[in-house]
Amino acid sequence: MNHRGSLILLVTLCIPMINYAQNISLLNSTFQSWSGGIAGRSGDNYTFIIEFSGYKTEPKPDTIWIGQQPVQILLQGSYSNQYPNTKVARTKNSIKFNISAGTSNDEYADRYPVQGKQKTKPHAPKAYKGVALLSYRYRGKQHYYEIIL
């Protein structure tokens, strides 16, 4: 096969992938540590604005992992009884998720665990080196986006 034939074959195979490609970008993020309330409690609050563009079907974020702590994503305007932590802004070509998530630590509970009430600690579904890991569904499959600042 000549070079031209190889090029045509490559372009033909790549067009469907390009049509279903999506772009994900971190537009903005904030971070604030806190401590107080009951002695020994502390945590971190984050806000991430993540934009998806170039998609055919709308992606659906479900969880954001900060360290090994999962935070369920609850969209504003959903009909759940829980407080929403994510605002959604849609345009013709993109969708932006403004996600507020936080972690908390209780030094007293960690230092003096009550027998029989130890919680199993969750683990992120995959290893990552960034600040957080966004878990979302796209076209019926689970995907992940590592948030690196």
Residue 133 has pLDDT above 70, yes or no: yes
Q: Categorize the per-residue pLDDT at 127 as very low, low, confident or very high, splitting at 50, 70 and 90.
A: very high
Q: Which amino acid is at 109?
A: A
Neighbours of 124 (CB within 10 A): 17
pTM: 0.76
DSSP E strands, the chain: 23-35, 41-53, 60-66, 69-72, 86-90, 94-106, 132-138, 141-147
Please give the structure tokens belonging to residue 49: 């604005």
Give residue 59's pLDDT band: very low, low, confident or very high (50, 70, 90). Answer: very high
Tokens at 28, concatenated: 């903005």
**Going from the N-terminus, what domains does the chain have, and what CATH number goes with each?**
21-106+120-147 (2.60.40)
How large is the average pLDDT for residues 118-139?
A: 89
pLDDT digits (tens, 9 = 90+) for 80-125: 667 889 999 999 899 999 999 999 888 776 667 777 766 677 889 9
